[in-house]
Amino acid sequence: MGRLVDGKWVKSSVITSDESGAYDRVPRSFRDTISSNHSKYQPESGRYHLYVSYACPWAHRTLIYRKLKSLESHISVSVVSPDMLEMGWTFDQSIAGATGDDLYGLNYLQEIYLKADPKVSTTVTVPILWDKKTQTIVNNESSEIIRIFNSEFNELTGNHEDFYPEDLADKIDELNEFIYSNINNGVYRSGFAKTQEAYESAVTKLFTSLDRVEEILEGQKYLLGDRLTEADLRLVPTLLRFDCVYVTHFKCNLKRIKDYKNLSRYVRDLYSIEGIKETTNIEHIKRHYFYSHDDLNPYRIVALGPSEIF
């Protein structure tokens, strides 16, 4: 594993920490958008391509949106191997479900970043929203890609379903911040902590926050009542990985999602949605985490369980 520094691959740990030993996530590096009035990137069928990993919860969001917003015939996709090793994400196709690089036949995801900028300094992450016309990266921040998918291709697809409605936007933003800081990133802050104090702080916040979500879901189907929103679609990829990976691999073992009455029902309900079930690949998820993080699991033993996940 590693990152690009001035266009050169530098091997390093995926775990980036601050002085206290707490995990410190590196911000994404490409942050443009697509819109009908954009000077460079307009919505067009067949123009854009998505690079993803089935294992990655951030990339999973974009796959869910691609399905739910009827974008599958308009935005093509390549799936990397779940194994992220010394050269980072690869296009190796030896594991079922990995597609290779459908555009350029490259070997490593880092080469996509270098096509966009030969001198780039960045972590090499998924998802990537790629523009085939200008052959560059439009955006590699999942929260922004799903906003693009939510609204900017509506006239092309005829799908006007809105997961970020104006009347709920403030509440969605508030939930997103709470869930990202304490749950989406909280599992990583627990698993990648390098001191006991950093771990205990993160895992305590994580489960306090899960307890809060359990309370929110009492008597209602989704986080904001009976309406499926972006807040749900940002939370569910983390919950889908929780019992099969995070409980053991990231030491998030105070409870399982299965142990929560409302959260377990909520995950089952969301998993029954076609766009979520079809984009969830448990084999890639388990293989990636247990096999790729040799700092945490040096013998790369992939856990067999749990026997029941949802």
Closest to 82 (Cα-Cα) out of 67, 61, 99: 99
Closest to 270 (Cα-Cα) out of 233, 308, 303: 233
Active-site residue, 188 included = yes
- Say what angle helices 142-151 and 57-68 make with each other, to 10 degrees: 0
Residue type, 52: V
Catalytic hit among 188, 222, 289, 291: 188
Catalytic hit among 23, 41, 54, 56: 56
Q: How many residues does the chain have?
A: 310
For residues 56 and 138, the answer to whether their CB atoms sit within 8 Å is no
CA distance 234 to 223: 11
Closest to 245 (Cα-Cα) out of 200, 297, 194, 210: 297
Q: Using only C-alpha atoms, what is the Rg of the chain?
A: 19
Residue type, 82: P
Cα 27–176–150 angle (5° rounding)? 85
Task: Give the active site residues.
Answer: 56, 188
